[in-house]
């Protein structure tokens, strides 16, 4: 019997501007090549999170789209937290990342409520942070790997004391251009500003998410069959070169 991974995609019609469907296509294809089935479930405003969710995904959106879904997402705090406690994994990108914190204050001073799932808050800055990024990331103890992507955000995200970042910035800005941190990690939940999309150029990260999602059903992450990722790592190398040239080394 084929193991099915249930992926709940929150607000696919509003938070969808940063190639988010590309991330999901990567997850589906990499799962299928290992003999797993990925079931995509779109969750709109007012719709309940599907039961037995293995992986939750939130994409990016402009301030207008974020404002449209923020109240609904804020009401989901317990729902999302319960899914994480039940073993679900989570990936939130850019706008979705911001609103999983306690909230986001835009440039006009409007406060958008957040879900309060991640230990952070975000306020808009005076200029956008745009460019190629590379970070050092250690999701599994003792295994430091590089994540590459592209950032384009006006928000300045501040992690709470003791909160765990996704990684340390090598090139680019990261959460706010000052702390040297990028993203946030809480157990199996990851929030990040990196898109472009993220997962095609970081196949090991896609596999980490798949393994964590499967662990909800299997008890622990399975040993995933190695795939031919030559093209993926060529794309990773190109993005890393761009980050070194364009992104600038973090001071």
DSSP notation for 131-146: EEEEEEEEEETTEEEE
In what helix (H) or strand (E) does residue 58 lie, and over which residues does it extend?
A: strand 55-58
Which of the two residues, 50 and 251, has the higher pLDDT score? 50
Residues 109-132, mean pLDDT to the nearest whole number? 94
Q: CA distances (Å), 218 to each of 4, 39, 133, 163, 172, in order? A: 11, 17, 34, 28, 38
Q: CA distances (Å), 74 to each of 77, 123, 146, 192, 203, in order? A: 6, 17, 32, 19, 31
- What is the per-residue pLDDT for 10? 96
Chain segment 22-34, per-residue pLDDT in tens: 999 999 999 999 9
Local confidence band at 196 (pLDDT 50, 70, 90 cut-offs) = confident
Chain segment 54-80, per-residue pLDDT in tens: 999 999 888 888 889 999 999 999 999
- What is the per-residue pLDDT for 177? 94
- What is the per-residue pLDDT for 1? 66
Cα–Cα distance for residue pair 104/124, rounded to 1 Å: 8
Query: Does the predicted TM-score (pTM) go above 0.75?
Result: yes
Catalytic residue positions, numbered: 94, 195
Chain segment 80-113, per-residue pLDDT in tens: 999 999 999 999 999 999 999 999 998 888 899 9
Number of domains the chain is built from: 1
Question: First vs last Cα of the chain: how many Å apart?
Answer: 52
CATH number at 155 reads: 3.40.50.880
Domain that holds residue 58: 4-222+229-247
CB-CB contact of 211 with 223 (8 Å)? no
Query: Quick check: 195 pLDDT over 60?
Result: yes
CA torsion 24-29-32-33 (nearest 10°) is: -150
Tokens matching residue 144:
């430091």
- What is the per-residue pLDDT for 247? 61
CB-CB contact of 174 with 135 (8 Å)? yes
Average pLDDT, the chain: 93
- What is the per-residue pLDDT for 16? 85
């Amino acid at each position: 019997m084929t193991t099915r991974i249930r992926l709940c995609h929150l607000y696919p019609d509003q938070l969808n501007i940063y190639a988010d469907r590309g991330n999901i296509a990567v997850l589906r294809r990499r799962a299928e090549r290992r003999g797993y089935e990925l079931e995509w479930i779109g969750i709109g405003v007012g719709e309940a999170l599907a039961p037995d969710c293995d992986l939750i995904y939130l994409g990016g959106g402009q301030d207008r789209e974020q404002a449209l879904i923020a109240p609904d997402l804020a009401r989901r705090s317990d729902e999302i937290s319960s899914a994480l406690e039940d073993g679900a994994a989570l990936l939130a990108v850019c706008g979705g990342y911001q609103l999983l914190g306690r909230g986001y204050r835009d440039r006009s001073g409007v406060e958008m409520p957040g879900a309060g799932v991640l230990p952070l808050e975000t306020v808009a800055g005076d200029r956008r942070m745009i460019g190629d990024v590379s970070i050092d990331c250690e999701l599994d103890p003792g295994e430091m790997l590089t994540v590459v992507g592209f950032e384009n955000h006006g928000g300045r995200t501040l992690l709470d004391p003791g909160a765990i970042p996704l990684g340390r910035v090598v090139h680019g800005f990261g959460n706010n251009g000052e702390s040297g941190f990028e993203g946030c990690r809480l157990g199996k939940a990851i929030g990040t500003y990196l898109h472009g999309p993220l997962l095609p150029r970081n196949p090991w990260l896609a596999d980490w998410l798949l393994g964590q999602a499967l662990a909800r059903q299997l008890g622990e992450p399975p040993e995933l069959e190695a795939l031919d990722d030559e093209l993926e790592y060529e794309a990773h190398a190109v993005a890393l070169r761009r980050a070194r040239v364009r992104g600038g080394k973090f001071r």
